[in-house]
Amino acid sequence: MQASRLLLMPLLLTGILFAPNGARAAGFALQNQNGAGNGYAYAGAAAVAQDASTIYFNPAGMTYLAPGHHVSGAGNLLIRSLRFKNTGSSPFLSYPLGDNGGQAGGLSPIPAFYWSMSLGSAFRLGLGVSPTFGNSTEWNKTFIGRYQGRFSEILAINFNPSFAWQLSEDVSIGAGLNIVKFDADLRSMVPVTSLLPLPVDVETKMKGDDVGFGYNLGVMFRFSPSTRMGLTYRSTVDLKVDGRLSAPGTVIPASVALELPNTASLAISHMMSDRLRLLADLTWTGWGHIPAIVATSRASGTILANERLGFEDSFRVGLGAQYQYTERLRLHAGFAYDQSPVRNARDRSVRLPDSDRFWLAVGLNQKLGERTSIDVGYSHVFFKGAEIERPTFPNPLLQVVRGSFSTNAHIISLQLNHHF
């Protein structure tokens, strides 16, 4: 069994340490930080400031809420289809090639909660709780790319206490602390050679967690009663994900250093008439902070794996509209283009079959009373074709996964807002 362990180790330590695929926004970020924005593809979200969820998108927007307490609770349901088509993958040595892996998507709930309160006429306090990064992808155990990754589940929950200050009638500023609880459960299949008469695959698993800290800043400018602009920045969050890398008969304490990316957004809200509001934003994300994933032994500090991801910085642009159809009913619609941080087939992985995407969205806000309203939204996310030609290990003679991914997503959202 000693020979099998020697083969097991490099296979076990490459390709299972990271699971970046959210399908809600580029990379593994979760765009759906409220339910209302889903109805207009989150266009101009940093300038909307219509409910307590502005805490995430731009904390300065709390000063645009009426005095008192504001509470918003949201739920998004992501319905994602993710399939693989083989176009010439090579097998690993004498092991069976495998199949296309089945449906790796599924259903993912994305909740969020926000609360804001006024302290006099110029100050606001708030708290937001939401998952800001996440992934859930599961291929069959007989998947062609099983040695690069079979099961990936990560979750980063952000606790975001915030404040805002209205400096003047036309300028407000805001800031928040981000406390991020990060958890990961990543699995792969590994080929094992031994005295057994037939090749055997075993499953490896890495579980780890950490808590990291960051901050976010926002400013809101009102140029006229009908036009305002929001500027926001969200910092990186440094994590040291400690956990255990395990396989049958093997447990290794391991650590992965990870820097969640920073973002900056410019957003505009403009009232074309007393009924029609137009929204737009340009948002940048610093995915270049994650060029590779490096795993080290917690016992010795030696590098166990160094896997290139090749992420590059990306941007998204959104355009949306809100129409006040009646005094109690407001209609929403939006479009967005979201650029992927993965730019070529060699860097694309089975854990991140990511590609550029387009959002089409519709929704509404319905008042239920003087202080209560609901938002309902639906968006369809169209993904461009995503090719993969990635070696399972640094030596491409061992195996290369070649194929294409087809992905699409439906997102249904509901949000309840109350002011007291």
Weakest mean pLDDT among 21-25, 387-391, 416-420: 21-25
Neighbours of 240 (CB within 10 A): 15
Neighbours of 204 (CB within 10 A): 22
Domain ranges for the chain, please list them: 2-419
The pLDDT tens digits for 366-395 are 999 999 999 999 999 999 989 999 998 777
- pLDDT for residue 196: 60
Neighbours of 6 (CB within 10 A): 10
- pLDDT for residue 351: 87
- pLDDT for residue 3: 34
The pLDDT of 52-79, averaged and rounded, is 97
* CA pair distance 76, 273, nearest whole angstrom: 31
Strand segments (E) across 309-399? 314-324, 329-338, 357-367, 372-383, 386-391
* Distances in whole angstroms, Cα of residue 406 to Cα of each of 115, 338, 387: 39, 17, 9
From the centroid of its chain, how far is CA 198? 40
**Sign of the four-CA dihedral 362, 319, 71, 183:** positive
**Residue 317 structure tokens:** 């642009």
- pLDDT for residue 245: 84
Who wins on pLDDT, 393 or 20? Answer: 393
* CA pair distance 264, 291, nearest whole angstrom: 20
* CA pair distance 16, 246, nearest whole angstrom: 11
* Distances in whole angstroms, Cα of residue 54 to Cα of each of 59, 131, 162, 336: 6, 15, 10, 19
- pLDDT for residue 24: 54
Name residues whose C-beta falls within 8 Å of residue 92's C-beta, 6 or more positions apart in sequence: 147, 191, 392, 398, 399
**Rg of the chain (C-alpha set):** 23
- pLDDT for residue 197: 66
Name residues whose C-beta falls within 8 Å of residue 2's C-beta, 6 or more positions apart in sequence: none
pTM (two decimals): 0.89
**Residue 56 structure tokens:** 């995430």
What does the longest C-alpha to C-alpha distance in the chain come to? 79
Who wins on pLDDT, 311 or 332? Answer: 332
Q: What is the CATH number that goes with domain 2-419?
A: 2.40.160.60
- pLDDT for residue 85: 97
Contact status, residue 131 vs residue 85, Cβ threshold 8 Å: no
* CA pair distance 215, 221, nearest whole angstrom: 21
From the centroid of its chain, how far is CA 156? 9
The pLDDT tens digits for 67-98 are 999 999 999 999 999 999 999 999 988 889 99
Q: How confident is the model at residue 300 (pLDDT cuts 50, 70, 90)?
A: confident
* CA pair distance 352, 30, nearest whole angstrom: 14
Is residue 290 pLDDT above 90, yes or no? no
Highest mean pLDDT (candidates 107-111, 151-155, 276-280, 288-292): 276-280
